[in-house]
Amino acid sequence: MDLKSGYPYWTVRDGLVAAFPPLDSDIECDVAVIGAGITGALIARELADAGLDVVVLDKRDAGWGSTAASTALIQYEIDPGLVGIAGRYGERKAVAMLKACEVAIDELGDIARRVPGSAYRRAESLYYASWPWHAGAVREEGERRVAHGFSLDILERDALRERFGIDASAALLTHVAAEIDPYRTALGILQALARKGTGVFDRTEVTAIEAGSRRVVVRTDRQASVACAHVVVAGGYESATFLRQRVARDHSSYVLVTEPIAHLPAWARRTLVWESRRPYLYMRSAGDSRLIVGGEDDRVDIPAKRDRAVPRKAARLLRKLRKLLARDDIETGFSWAGTFAETDDGLPFFGPHPERGPRVHFAMAYGGNGIAYSVVGAKLIRKRILRESHPLARFLSFERLR
C-alpha cells in the first residue's frame, strides 16, 4: 500500500533524523512490535518501560508511513463526539473514552518533552458550527461535556467573531489540546529506545506471523526471524493485511502548509480549528507563521488517483482557508495527501483478534484522533501483555464487532 503522495512537510523540514539497520539474523525477545510509526514507537516505549525485551520492525524507513503525513492535531474530542458515542454505547463508556484521550494529551506531553525537536505545544481547540442548523448540536455537545467536567467554553456568534474573526453561529473552545511534530517524535522515541538496547530494525518486512500456544515466530523478507512471547501489530492502516476480517475502511485526506503568513493573528498560533460538517476542514499552526490545513477527505484509496487529486484538493483547501480567515494573501507552500482508515464507529481497536489468538495484539489507532488513541492504546496493550486489567480493554477490543 502506498500511504502518501508527495513529501509531507515534516520530512522536508526535519530531514533524515535517524537510520536503523535491517534485521540480519534470527533473534529472540519478549515482544516484537511490527511498525515503527508513532503507534509502534509509543507501544515499544511502554513495553520497554515495563522491563520487557522489545524488538521493533518496519518495512519502510522508520516513521515513513502515515506518521510522516499526519497533521498531528492532538485532541480528546473524537469525531463522533460525546453525544455520538453515548448514543451508541451509553454515556459511561463515552465519557471514559473522552477522559482517556484527555489524559493522553498530557501523557504525550511528558513523553515528547524528552524528545529533542518534538515541537509538542499545548493549544486550545475551536470547533465551530459550519452551518446555522448545526449550532444546536454543537451546543448540546458542549453542554454534555461541561456536565461531565470537561473544561470548555460555548461561544456564540458575537464572541466568536470578536475573539477569532470567524463567522459562525456557535462554537466550542476546548482548553485541553496540543500539537506536535509526529515524525520527529516517533523517531526520537525510537532513537532513545535503541540507545538503551531495544532492537529497532527498518527496511525489514514482516511476511508472516506464526502464533503457537507458547510463542510466536515472526518471519521477515530478510530470511531472519524473531521468536517472541507476544507480537503487537502496529502496522498502521496496513495492519489489516494480517486479518481476513475487514474492520475499517480506507480514505484519503489532503493537506497543505501555507507560506509564512504576515501578521498572523496570535490566536492562530495556539488554536486548533475544526468544524461540524463532514468531511471537515482542520487547521493548526506549523509552530511558526505558517498554518497547516487539512480536509477534503474522500473515499479514494488508489494512490495514483489520490496523487492526481492533490493540486485540485489543495486549491480548494486554500480557498476555504482564505474565506475562513477573510484574507486573500495566503499562499500554499507544500501540499500532500495521505491514506487514513476509519472504523464504522470512529473508535480504535486494541487487543487480540480471534483469527490470530491471544499472543498477537493489534493496535489499530484508526480515526481522526489516531495519535491520542495511540497513547491510550500503548498503556492498554502494556496492561494486556502484563495480564493486568485496563478499564477500556473490553470496549476497545474486537468484541465491539460482534
Decide: is 243 part of the binding site for ligand FAD (CB under 6 A): no
ω into residue 279 within 30 of 0, thus cis? yes
340 or 398, CB closer to ligand FAD? 340
Decide: is 36 part of the binding site for ligand FAD (CB under 6 A): yes
Q: Per CB under 6 A, which of residues 102..121 are in contact with ligand FAD? A: none
69 or 381, CB closer to ligand FAD? 69
Q: Which stretch binds ligand FAD (CB under 6 A): 56-64, 90-98, 258-266, 311-319?
A: 56-64
Q: Per CB under 6 A, which of residues 145..204 are in contact with ligand FAD? A: none
What element of type H or E holds 30?
strand 27-34
DSSP one-letter string for 40-89 = HHHHHHHHHHTT--EEEE-SSSTT-SHHHH---EEESS-TTHHHHHHHHH
Decide: is 340 part of the binding site for ligand FAD (CB under 6 A): yes
| Nearest-approach distance from CB 231 to ligand FAD, in angstroms | 11
**How big is the site for ligand FAD, counted in residues (CB under 6 A)?**
37
Tell me the backbone φ, ψ of residue 234, rounded to 5 degrees: -115, 50
Residue found by looking up cell 496493550 in the block = 381
Query: How far apart, in Å, do the first and last CA atoms of the chain sit?
Result: 28
235 or 352, CB closer to ligand FAD? 235
* CA separation for the pair 384, 230 (Å, rounded): 10
Decide: is 60 part of the binding site for ligand FAD (CB under 6 A): yes
Q: Per CB under 6 A, which of residues 299..338 are in contact with ligand FAD? A: 338
Nearest to 183 by CA among 70, 68, 16: 68
Q: Which three cell numbers stand for residue 49?
A: 518501560
Q: Which stretch binds ligand FAD (CB under 6 A): 35-43, 95-103, 120-128, 133-141?
A: 35-43
Q: Which residues pair with 284 in a beta bridge?
A: 292
- Residues at the site binding ligand FAD, with contacts judged by CB under 6 A: 3, 34-40, 57-60, 64-67, 69-73, 205-206, 234-236, 238, 253, 255, 294, 338, 340, 365, 369-372
